[in-house]
Amino acid sequence: MTPLGHLLFGYLFFLVLSKIYSRLSLSEFLFGALLPDIDALLLITGGYFLYHGMFTHSVFFLLFVAIIFGIRFSSVSIFAGGMLHLVIDMVLADTNPLNGLGMRLLWPLSGVQFYLGWFDLSFFPSGYWVHLIQNAAYEIILFMAILILYLVTYRLLTKRSFLSGFHAFLGPLKKTIKSFKN
């Protein structure tokens, strides 16, 4: 999944998870949901294809960052967002052939690669950047489909308009933007 997909689906999962745990913070959850792909910086050095899914896709890395940032921010939100990222990456088994399939969740203690592999994506059939754009397009389409489903369900359950459903959908986002302004 691309960083854009992690952001969009992070938001969807936040909508659900924040109903269970109301103190979840959107900005910190999304920060966590993007965090593991910081290893994309390795693209600069060429190390990405060897190490993607390793250093930053580890539970210990997430714990470390969550504890450090926990001094000022919500550790639970960062860690939960990060774990969501790892689960999605494991399900999509979206990795590259140079470093093997799956996420090294226990790095640096163990190099075992974990994946659930329900959608074993063949990697880079058409080059890295084209692959990235294609995936982002699929993710946007899937996100839009889920949004439409949400709006229809909202209308059926509440009998209120699609527009107010859309406002409800964006509620946590608007709240977060407002809290940044203050």
- Report the interface residues with Zn ion, using CB under 5 A: 36-37, 89
Question: Given the complex with Zn ion, which of 74 and 104 has the nearer CB atom?
Answer: 104
The nearer residue to Zn ion, 36 or 172, going by C-beta atoms, is: 36
CB of 97 to Zn ion, least distance (A): 16
Closest approach, Cβ 129 to Zn ion, in A, equals 17
Nearer to Zn ion, 24 or 86 (CB): 86
Q: Which of 49, 135, 132, 55 is nearest to 97 (CA)?
A: 49
Q: Answer yes or no: are the C-beta atoms of 78 and 69 closer than 8 Å.
A: yes
Measured CA to CA, the distance from residue 145 to residue 139 in angstroms comes to: 10
Torsion (CA) 124, 6, 109, 98 in degrees, nearest 10:
0
Q: At closest approach, how far in Å is the CB of 3 from Zn ion?
A: 8
Q: Nearest approach, Cβ of 57 to Zn ion (angstroms)?
A: 6
Q: Can you list the alpha helix ranges (DSSP code H) found in the chain?
A: 3-20, 26-34, 48-51, 59-69, 75-92, 128-158, 162-181
Q: Which is nearer to Zn ion, 38 or 141 (CB)?
A: 38
